[in-house]
Amino acid sequence: MKHPRAWQRMLSGRRLDLLDPTPVDIEVEDIAHGLAFVARWNGQTEGDYPYSVAEHSLLVEQIFARIVPQAPAKWRLAALLHDAPEYVIGDMISPVKAAVGPEYGALDARLAAAIHIRFGLPATVPVRIKRQIKRADRVSARLEATQIAGFSATEANRFFGKPDPDLSAGLCLHLRPPVEVRAAYTARHAELLSQMG
């Protein structure tokens, strides 16, 4: 019996096996490119460009730094990469993830582990750091919901929690062409890697 194809050809020429991803088949340029073209909120946002997962990831890393100001570069890199598997599996909204079930989580975890190892992080991020990144992710989601996705403040509070002014002060979302977001993501990734030394 022939098995269905489970690999994706990347623009770098790499062939990433989704069932058995290896760190050597992962390139930041592929991640940045893919995430810059994946729309958050299934594209249901205001503006002339989609709000991409790459843009969201840059914001989450910035908010994470406000939550943990003394965080070493490796955990800031983990925050930047928190949605990196979506460069090949896309951004599924929470209701779809729930419908798909635990297989989605297992696929995401396999890809995340390979990505982390590729860039010098532990395969699994410590629970404490993961919680802090998740907190930054929720702050970002709330900002996105109210600034570009049409949620009222009351509705956003119900789904994402009340805003912490210290974490969101002065943060305005920017919708940029994918080519600009891709460059910003790649540059920030390089900067954090260089700080890990």
| C-beta of residue 19 within 8 angstroms of C-beta of residue 6 | yes
Give me the mean pLDDT over the 100-125 stretch.
Answer: 92
Q: ∠ CA(44), CA(142), CA(149), 5° rounding? A: 20
**Separation between Cα atoms, residue 6 and residue 17, nearest integer Å:** 6
Q: Which tens digits make up the pLDDT trace of 24-64? A: 999 999 999 999 999 999 899 999 999 999 999 999 999 99
Q: Residues 4, 91, 77, CA angle at the centre, nearest 5°?
A: 110
CA distance 134 to 119: 20
Average pLDDT over residues 114-134: 97
Domain residue extents for the chain: 39-82+124-195
- Cα–Cα–Cα angle for 96, 114, 70, rounded to 5 degrees: 90
Q: How far is residue 47's CA from residue 28's CA, in Å, rounded to a whole number?
A: 27
| Helix then strand then coil, % of the chain, to nearest 5 | 60, 5, 35
pTM: predicted TM-score of the whole model, two decimal places: 0.93
Average pLDDT, integer, range 2-23: 86
| Model pLDDT for residues 52-108, shown as the tens digit of each residue | 999 999 999 999 999 999 999 999 999 999 999 999 988 877 777 777 777 888 889
Would the pLDDT of 3 be above 80? Answer: no
CATH code reported for the domain at 39-82+124-195:
1.10.3210.10
